[in-house]
A and B are shown apart, each in its own frame.
Chain A
């Protein structure tokens, strides 16, 4: 099983600041099978990025994704009020599909 490790667990930042979220896979995966999801309290997760760096429909340009192999990053260039949420990375390269444990972005 590929273990996805996200860091940090919690990111406390102010509006307008840059957020950098890390996701590390326990073995190399194709970036085509790495996606990011945003989840707000009481809501289902929402697709944010796929293929590691492609923004889903409706994802603002302030979100960007990068990485390859085992290390992937989600960056929010300037935090907006609606960005405070939990973010999960996910791999579908090897079964069983797995998620990271999530990074909570909270208001400082």
Chain B
């Protein structure tokens, strides 16, 4: 069973940088067709896609966060990470990492999140 585990500080001060790492177990982060994603959920709200990264280092970011966001991957540690700069209270959320399985077939292909981490609450407060 593939497992993902988020780690990082639970409290970040306003204007500082939020840094999170996702450690992947029982699967190789270098597997083709798997994109490694970050999704967040503000308190009492819905899900927001933050961005994803491929093992090659290729990234896609949500335009709403792109100016402040950097993602990276460490294949030797089977981990991927995100950094969000200049945080405000609006960045307080549960942050999830997830595996985005992308496939190609005769119908053209598709994609979906098949495994998720348990989530980690990050609070932005002084």
Binding site for B on A (CB under 8 A): 1, 30, 32-33, 35, 37, 43-47, 50-51, 56, 88, 90, 92, 95-102
Contact = CB atoms under 8 A, between A and B. Distances in A.
B107 A37 contact: no
B109 interface: yes
A43 B49 CA distance: 17
Interface in B61-116: 61-64, 96, 100, 107-114, 116
B111 A96 contact: no
Contact of A32 (B96, B107, B117): B107
A47 B112 contact: yes
A33 B107 CA distance: 11
Contacts, number: 60
A103 B117 CA distance: 22
B60 A92 contact: no
B46 A99 contact: yes
Candidate in B48, B108, B113, B114 with the most chain A CB atoms within 10 angstroms: B113
B113 A33 contact: no
Interface of B: 46-49, 60-64, 96, 100, 107-114, 116-119
Given A44-B117, A88-B47, A96 B63 contact: yes
Contacts of A46: 116
A51 B112 CA distance: 8
A102 B47 CA distance: 8
Contacts of B96: 44-45
A92 B112 contact: yes
Given A44-B117, A45-B116, A92-B100, A99 B110 contact: no
Candidate in B48, B60, B111, B117 with the most chain A CB atoms within 10 angstroms: B111
